[in-house]
Structure 1
Amino acid sequence: MTPPETPRLREMRWWDIDPVLELEKDLFPEDAWSRGMFWSELAHSRGPEATRRYVVAVEGERVVGYAGLAAQGAAPDSGYAAVGDIQTIAVARDRWSTGLGGRLLTELLRAATAFECAEVMLECRVDNVRAQKLYERFGFEAIGFRRGYYQPGNVDALVMRLTTTPDGGFAAGSPSVRGTEING
């Protein structure tokens, strides 16, 4: 039996929305994003005013993962730095424990560095221990809860934060995630 190929990461495009929705509904059946939500996010990911970075992991022709980051920039001379918010990370069940989630997260942290974010925030379901362990390996720290954040299941969210390293990047485990971005 031939081992599966290593998925390649690339920029998410409109034609990826249908396969991403299939994964979304499988992995997050109670609170899956809609087609319109993905369209809206992708609309903010192109051009000089882009505030989003969405990527897909593709194995052959199959989308086996996806991830997205939103960056909220601070106004010039405001004294505040930009903040990144991880919107989503998902990996097909048959690709769990392969390191793909870490690769997707690394790419989002590269994007946060490019957006000059001083910190990256995220919400994670309190019952999603697998994701929490991934984020902790990358240095994210729990800073609070959002009660009933995930609807309709009324599941709480753990709020986590990662701040920049002294060199202005984000540490991914031990290696720096400053470096080249994936092809778009």
Structure 2
Amino acid sequence: MVWQLRRATVDDLDAIMAIEHAVFPTDAWSVESMGSELSSTHGVYLVAFEHSEPQDIVAYAGLLAPRGASQADIQSVAVVESARRQGLARTLVLSLIDEARDRGAREIFLEVRVDNPGAQALYDSLGFEGIAVRKGYYQPDNVDGLVMRLEVPAPKTSPAVGA
């Protein structure tokens, strides 16, 4: 599959909410909260789709990062089951890290359910470190949230080839 990313807009709200409810059935965000996130100038949401089917959104991820602020928060990352294990969440998170860097953030935080070892492994592999636990953070399941932090790495550059 060839995945493509683009910035989400409020026109994507229905597709995002369908994914939200499928991936997070007990603690999905409200339509109002997600609509507010998509409308905010303080962050960015991305959606992903298969190159040949741009109308079929299969994943999204969001970042809260006011321009000039030293800290950013990854708000949510969700991939439909049929598109998992193909590197899509990694691509989305890496894109959010780039966006946070561009907005001036030096640290990125996120919360992840303690009962989601797959997501924790992804964040670990990207350099996030667990720094705290929020007891009962995910409701109504009363599941703890692991707070993770990443020092935003400098952009990787390389010399032009063939110049």
Select which of 41, 49, 64 maps to 1:70: 64
Matched, 1:158 2:146: yes
Identity in percent: 42
Runs of 4+ in 1 over 4 A off after TM superposition: none
Select which of 28, 32, 41 maps to 1:32: 28
Could you state the TM-score of these two structures normalised by the residue count of structure 1?
Answer: 0.80
Partner of residue 161, structure 2: none
Q: Secondary structure at the match of 2:145?
A: strand
1:164, distance to aligned residue in structure 2 (A): 2.5
Partner of residue 41, structure 1: 37
Counterpart Cα distance in 1 of 2:152 and 2:5: 24
Select which of 51, 57, 61 maps to 2:48: 57
Partner of residue 89, structure 2: 101
Partner of residue 141, structure 1: 129
Partner of residue 21, structure 1: 17
Structure 2: any 5+ residue segments left out of the alignment?
158-163
Counterpart Cα distance in 1 of 2:115 and 2:132: 15
Counterpart Cα distance in 1 of 2:147 and 2:33: 21
Kept in 2: contact 1:84–1:117 (CA 8 A): yes
1:139, distance to aligned residue in structure 2 (A): 0.3
Q: How many residues align?
A: 154
Counterpart Cα distance in 2 of 1:70 and 1:127: 24
1:71, distance to aligned residue in structure 2 (A): 1.4
Structure 1: any 5+ residue segments left out of the alignment?
45-49, 75-80, 170-175, 178-184
Q: Secondary structure at the match of 1:149?
A: strand
Counterpart Cα distance in 1 of 2:149 and 2:99: 16
Partner of residue 125, structure 1: 113
Counterpart Cα distance in 2 of 1:91 and 1:164: 24
Partner of residue 84, structure 1: 72
1:6, distance to aligned residue in structure 2 (A): 1.4
Calculate the aligned-residue CA RMSD, in Å.
1.5
1:35, distance to aligned residue in structure 2 (A): 1.0
Kept in 1: contact 2:110–2:148 (CA 8 A): yes
Kept in 1: contact 2:10–2:39 (CA 8 A): no
Kept in 2: contact 1:71–1:112 (CA 8 A): yes
Partner of residue 9, structure 1: 5
